[in-house]
Homo-oligomer: A and B are copies of this chain.
Amino acid sequence: MEAYKQVTRKSHPHDTVVQVRGVSIGDGSFTVIAGPCAVESREQLFATAQAVREAGATVLRGDAFKPRTSPYAFQGLKEEGLQLLAEAREAFDMPFVAEVLEPGDVELVASYADIIRVGTRNMSNYSLLQELGRSDKAVMLKRGFTATIDDWLTAAEYVYNEGNNNIILVERGIRTFETATRNTLDISAVPVVKQRSHLPVIVDPSHSGGHKYLVGPLAKAGLVVGAAGMMVDVHPNPSEAKVDGAQALLPEDFITLMGELQTLASATGVEVS
């Protein structure tokens, strides 16, 4: 018995395209998802959303529930954060993605978000995956930082098998012995996934490298290896960010990066959306 079968190319040769409020992920374009790691306040969220929208991002990211390594760290604004994200969606006309941490919260998050994200620590939380498989919202599944590509596709199968086919995979770095980076972005995973599965795969250049200066190079690498998009942290004031400030781009850095990606994309016949 194979560990996964419905998410394979063999069973479904054509690329899956995930449609979210007019944005298509997996149709050959490079979808840019950007925003703050965590929603901290209306000011912070709206300033960031406006900046990334103007620079060309089409999906907003921002979390209201944060899975923090330490119980003493900031845990997110919870439902208040989701409400702010929903307001930003209307204000800037961008669907948004937010993380869910446990099966009991799926209904709540789904009542606000357009795409529900499963974080790297929960990739093998099968009851959460099954609950999401019964949701009608798109699911974004980050690779566990110690998951093989086959483990990851098997996790996707848990969602798919319950009837939810709108799944976006995110390569976000794996745990290795190297300490110069937070994790090691497994750039090869993009072509490997594209060969094995019909699901769209994007890269996260922020959480993998863990340093601002690596975001640009890793984003470009994602584009040229054929990723369906990227998700990137932007913060108007990274040094005061409550979560992961070291890797967040300033809005002006993000604008520069978008210009560089546009150039690469034009050269290779890809549309940045």
Indicate whether A111 reaches chain B with its CB closer than 8 angstroms: no
Indicate whether A20 reaches chain B with its CB closer than 8 angstroms: no
Given contact pairs A2-B72, A103-B103, enumerate 4 new A-B contacts (beta carbons under 8 Å). Answer: A1-B70, A4-B70, A101-B126, A146-B177
Which residues between 167 and 207 of chain A lie within 8 Å of chain B, taking CB atoms? 174-181, 184-192, 195
Using CB atoms, name the residue of chain B closest to A194: B217
Residues of B close to A267: CB separation below 8 A: 263-264, 266-268
Residues of B close to A225: CB separation below 8 A: 217-218, 220-221
Q: Do A102 and B128 touch (CB < 8 A)?
A: yes
Bound CA–CA A185/B225 (angstroms): 13
Most B CB atoms within 10 A — which of A2, A189, A221?
Answer: A221
Residues of A at the B interface (CB closer than 8 Å) are 1-4, 67-73, 101-105, 121-122, 124-128, 130, 144-146, 148-151, 154, 157-158, 161, 174-181, 184-192, 195, 208-209, 213-214, 217-218, 220-221, 223-226, 260, 263-264, 266-268
Using A72-B1, A103-B102, A214-B188 as known contacts, say yes or no to A146 and B145 having CB atoms under 8 A apart.
yes
Residues of B close to A180: CB separation below 8 A: 148-150, 188-189, 192
Q: Give the number of copies in the complex.
A: 4
* Among candidates B176, B208, B260, residue contacting A176 with C-beta atoms closer than 8 Å: B176
Bound CA–CA A122/B148 (angstroms): 17
* Among candidates B3, B122, B125, B268, residue contacting A263 with C-beta atoms closer than 8 Å: B268
Bound CA–CA A140/B75 (angstroms): 24
Using A71-B157, A101-B127 as known contacts, say yes or no to A213 and B191 having CB atoms under 8 A apart.
yes
* Among candidates B1, B102, B157, B221, residue contacting A187 with C-beta atoms closer than 8 Å: B221
Q: Do A224 and B213 touch (CB < 8 A)?
A: no
Using CB atoms, name the residue of chain B closest to A67: B126
Q: Do B178 and A186 touch (CB < 8 A)?
A: yes
How far in angstroms is the closest Cβ of chain B from A253? 15
